[in-house]
């Protein structure tokens, strides 16, 4: 190779390195635009940006204002009536009536208390929706951690295959390896490339779901580990799950609100009062006086108490149903957690890692064939992936048990 050709080859390599550097910088810039966060940070972001939760907060605010408005005084009314007759020029007489209607004072207090109880119900319903949504987001985060662990295993296997391919290519060139062994390694690399692509696709889909929960704003978990497991035992976790269940709390609040609604409707028979001022004019004479009256709710109060009592019965039934579901779900989850914990302990991860290291040494030293190596190594890797699946399920169950703490 002459000097000109050598310089040309150097320029090509330099251009290649420059392109690689530019692509790396671009990739880092794109990655930096989406800040990687911890699971706790992700949940805070979702709570802040989720459109469903924001809409529910505004809806509750509007409902609270509407409930308070129902307890305001009625609007005052003003009536003015001019009268005319043929014996008088212009207006013969007139009447001015100004009056204000209001409910019996005890009814305002009862309705005010009912409004506060209804506001409490809406707050607990919001907390229930928030808990369920954050649990969904946390489940996606756990999926991302699981996928990253799978990707790490696949990347390790691909690196291992690359090193074996380089080694056996040299052996093949020296006549110490067969083309069958070489092709076996190439097939392994091909399969691993496909599995890595599938894992990346699954991760992208999970991030897309997380983005939707985050109000359409991009968010990335980055490289994270599973959350720290609670120190409490199964019995304590069960009691906490049942006693702090927000759904049960909301049902209990609905019962209290329904009880107060009965008290409000029991006062619906009390007449509404009206007070006012009246002025009558007749020519030059004028008379003034007060107006006192009311309306008797003979028809508007019909069946109101019966309706309120029926709703109270419905609320109590829903409370009982919610309590039964919470206890049953917590019991099933605690039992599942115990089974998964036993399954995880059955896997000896250090032993599997040691076995992989020994297999790699054996195939490098020619003690076993490449085919035997991959048969044995595949069994070990399948067990590692199975352990990761059980680990993911375990953390998912723990998240479900402790969801009311989100």
> Which pTM does this prediction carry?
0.81
Round to whole Å and give the CA distance between 119 and 124. 9
Sheet containing strand 77-83, strands side by side? 77-83, 93-102, 272-282, 285-295
Q: Using an 8 Å Cβ cutoff, are 235 and 337 in contact? A: no
Upper half-sphere CA count for residue 34 (Cβ side, 13 Å): 16
Count Cα atoms within 13 angstroms, Cβ side, for 230: 21
What residues contact residue 211 under an 8 Å CB cut-off, 6+ apart? 217, 218, 219
* Residue 325 burial class via C-beta count within 10 angstroms: exposed 0-12, middle 13-18, buried 19 and up: middle
The one-digit pLDDT tens for each residue of the chain (406 residues) are 444 444 444 444 444 444 444 444 433 343 444 455 789 999 999 999 999 999 999 999 999 888 888 888 788 888 888 887 776 676 767 888 888 887 888 888 888 899 999 999 999 999 999 999 999 999 999 999 999 999 999 999 999 888 888 988 888 888 888 888 889 889 989 999 999 999 999 999 999 999 999 999 998 887 778 988 888 889 999 999 999 999 999 999 999 999 999 988 888 777 888 888 888 887 678 888 888 887 777 666 778 888 899 999 999 999 999 999 999 999 999 999 999 999 999 999 999 999 999 999 998 888 988 888 888 999 999 999 999 999 999 999 999 999 999 8
Look up tokens 């115990």; give the residue: 338
The position carrying tokens 């006012």 is 276
| Bridge partner list, 100 | 275
d(CA 24, CA 200) in angstroms, rounded, equals 18
For residue 93 the two structure tokens come to 């007489």
How many secondary structure helices (H) and strands (E) does the chain include? 10, 4
Do residues 85 and 92 lie in contact, with contact meaning Cβ atoms separated by under 8 Å?
Answer: yes
CA distance 349 to 387: 8
């Amino acid at each position: 190779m002459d000097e000109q050709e050598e310089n040309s080859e150097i320029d090509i390599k330099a251009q290649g390195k420059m392109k690689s550097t530019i692509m790396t910088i671009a990739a880092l810039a794109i990655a930096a635009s989406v800040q990687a966060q911890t699971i706790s940070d992700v949940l805070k972001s979702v709570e802040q940006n989720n459109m469903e939760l924001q809409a529910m907060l505004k809806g509750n605010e509007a409902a609270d204002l509407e409930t308070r408005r129902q307890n305001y005084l009625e609007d005052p009314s003003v009536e003015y009536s001019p009268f005319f007759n043929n014996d008088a020029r212009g207006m013969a007489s007139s009447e001015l009536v100004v009056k204000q209607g209001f409910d019996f004072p005890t009814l305002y207090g009862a309705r005010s208390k009912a409004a506060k109880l209804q506001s409490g119900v809406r707050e607990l319903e919001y907390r229930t929706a928030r808990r369920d949504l954050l649990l969904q987001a946390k489940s996606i985060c756990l999926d991302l951690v699981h996928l990253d662990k799978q990707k790490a295993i696949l990347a390790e296997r691909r690196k291992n295959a690359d090193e074996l391919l380089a080694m056996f290519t040299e052996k093949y060139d020296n006549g110490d390896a067969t083309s069958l062994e070489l092709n076996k390694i190439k097939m392994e690399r091909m399969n691993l490339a496909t599995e890595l692509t599938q894992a990346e696709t699954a991760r992208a889909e999970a991030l897309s779901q997380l983005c939707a929960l985050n109000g359409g704003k991009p968010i990335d978990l980055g490289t994270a580990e599973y959350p720290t497991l609670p120190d409490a035992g199964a019995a304590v976790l069960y009691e906490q799950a049942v006693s702090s269940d927000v759904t049960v709390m909301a049902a209990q609040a609905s019962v209290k609100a329904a009880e107060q609604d009965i008290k409000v409707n029991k006062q619906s028979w009390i007449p509404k009062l009206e007070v006012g001022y009246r002025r009558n004019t007749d020519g030059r004479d004028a008379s003034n006086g007060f107006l006192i009256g009311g309306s008797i709710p003979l028809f508007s109060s019909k069946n109101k108490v019966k309706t309120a009592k029926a709703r109270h019965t419905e609320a109590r039934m829903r409370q009982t149903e919610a309590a039964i579901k919470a206890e049953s779900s917590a019991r099933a989850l605690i039992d599942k957690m115990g089974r998964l914990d036993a399954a995880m302990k059955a896997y000896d991860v250090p032993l599997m890692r040691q076995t992989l290291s020994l297999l790699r040494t054996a195939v490098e030293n020619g003690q076993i064939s490449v085919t035997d190596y991959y048969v044995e190594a595949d069994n070990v890797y399948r067990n590692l992936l199975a352990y990761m699946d059980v680990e993911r399920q375990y953390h998912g169950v723990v998240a479900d048990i402790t969801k009311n703490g989100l």
